[in-house]
Structures are given as C-alpha cells and as structure tokens.
Amino acid sequence: MTINILSKKALNILFIFISSYGIAQQKFEGTAHYISKTDVDMSNFSRPDMSEDQKKRMAERMKSMFEKTYVLDFNKTESIFKAEEKLAAPTQQGGNGGPGGRFGSVISGAVDGDKYKNTETKELLISNELLGKKFLVNDELPKLDWKTTGEVKQIGQYMCFKATAVKTWTDFDISNFRRPPGKEEEPKEEKKEEKQIETLVTAWYTLQIPVSQGPGNYWGLPGLILEIHEDNTIILCSKIVLNAKDKTSIKKPTKGKKVTLKEYNEIATEKFQEMRENFRSRRGGDNNRGGRR
C-alpha cells in the first residue's frame, strides 16, 4: 500500500496559494527597502602603472559607487522607487574625474532618478538629472514575458517563487567609457547606431504580498518582487513594512524636460561620450606637460 505524503515545503506552498485568494482582496500598501550590489571587473578601470595601493583605493571607490540602497513605496496599482541619499566620501586631490568622484555622481544622477510605475494605466515616469539638467522620461511601462520555473525559496518570512525573462533593451553604452587605453576608436557613423542589449533576468516574488510591483522598472508578476538578478547585479529586499499607520505617499514626478525613454538614452549617450572625450583630452594634456619637465 502506497501513501502519498506532501512534504512540508509543498504544504507551505499550498497554504500560500489558498491564503492568497483571501488576501488578494485586501487593500495592500507598504514600503520595501532594497540593497543593490554590482560585481565590477576592475581590469576595465585600472592601468598597468598603478600601484597595489592605488588599485585597492580605486576598488573601494567602485564598491561605494555600485552599492546602493533604495526604497519602494507601493500599493495595488502604483509604486515609486527612490535611491536613498548618503553622504559622499571625501575626494582625493585631483580625483574628481575618477570613478566614485564627479563621474560617479553624474552617472548616479543620470540613472537613479525617482521611478513611478502604474500597472493599471501602464504609465512609467522617471525623473533623472543629467549634467545639471532635469529630464522627465514619460513612456509606457515595459513588460517582460516572465516564465515561472516551479522553484521556491524563503526570503526572510516570505515564501518566494522563481521567474525568468529575457530582457532586450537599448541603453546608453557605459562600456564606451571602460575601453582599455590605446584601443582603436570605432568609426563615428557606427557610434550612432543603437546598441541592443539582451540579458537574462531572474526574479523571486512572493504571493503573500499580491501586488504586481518590484524594484526599478520591474513588475508584471502576481506578487511583490523581492529579489532580482541581472548580469552581475543583484537587487535584494532587506525590509518590508505593510499597511503602516502613516499612509504611503506616492507622488508622480513632474519636473524636467519631457522625453521618451529612447530620446533620453540618445541624449545620455551623446553627453557621456563628450565627457569621455574631454577627460581624455585633459589627461593627454597633463601627460604632455609632464613629459616636458
């Protein structure tokens, strides 16, 4: 005689599915805190003539530049995702142009503006600042074709389910600024071509918070996304506060020049390319002056 016994994990999953029918009708709103970390290939930034101490300091600046904390305020249909402000580390003399200095601040302002999403109207609004000028990116909310895998894991007190999607997008090419010294430039006409980027995205979401929201531009799953893996970046939820006494305030960004996402990427690509050329020109001038001593 064979008796089928459900495992404890299967029972937990079944319980969550049954419970979700009841909680889906509740009015959900809250705040989720996220930590974002990116593994950086330091060979793209260091030079052969750098000492080990210089490489170590640069690695620390890069780590600070790419480790950030965010807050997502959400309800059933709306959310706003904001980077938390932190005190800037003191810059080394002559280090304004290096990673983690002025260049890092410019990148942060260009990509880390407030992101408003409305899953009912499919509206996306992003407030970015590029070289002192404010832009309001007004576009349709991008949708990914999520595929569930059946895998589960626990994140804090929440049972999470795995989903994957292939993301194809056009963005300004940060790799242009990481080209090793001496590498030949591409022809100018090729630089104007849009660079299509395709990457696999892995998300972990929970049905215990039945809102189709998540960090950044991510959404479209039947529960709040608590973890995202994209290339060498991970975004992980560290804290959630639900239905607090003080109601969550979600305000649409309104300030800045209105552009589409495609238009903004074209503007950002051009401006960052100008920054790179100016930096190379200054560095070349410094080397020439040093050679005449």
Question: What pLDDT does residue 183 have?
Answer: 43
Question: What pLDDT does residue 228 have?
Answer: 97
d(CA 110, CA 266): 12
**Residue in 261, 106, 46, 272 with CA at minimum distance from that of residue 175:** 272
Question: What pLDDT does residue 290 have?
Answer: 53
**Helix residue ranges per DSSP H, 41-136:** 52-66, 102-111
Residue 135, helix vs strand vs coil: strand
Question: What pLDDT does residue 293 have?
Answer: 45
Summarised one tens digit per residue, pLDDT across range 201-222 is: 999 999 999 999 999 999 999 9
Query: Which DSSP helix (H) or strand (E) runs through 178?
Result: none
How many CB atoms are closer than 10 A to CB 171?
15
Structure token digits, residue 154? 């626990």
Distances (CA, A) of 108 to 15, 39, 169: 42, 17, 20
Question: What pLDDT does residue 151 have?
Answer: 97
pLDDT in tens, the chain (293 residues): 433 444 545 545 554 454 444 444 466 799 999 999 887 666 655 566 777 777 777 767 766 677 889 999 999 999 999 998 765 554 444 444 444 455 556 666 677 889 999 999 999 999 998 888 899 999 999 889 999 999 999 999 999 999 999 988 655 544 444 344 344 444 444 444 556 778 899 999 999 999 999 999 999 999 999 999 998 899 999 999 998 777 778 999 999 999 998 898 888 888 878 877 776 676 665 555 555 54
Question: What pLDDT does residue 46 have?
Answer: 57
Question: What pLDDT does residue 99 have?
Answer: 45
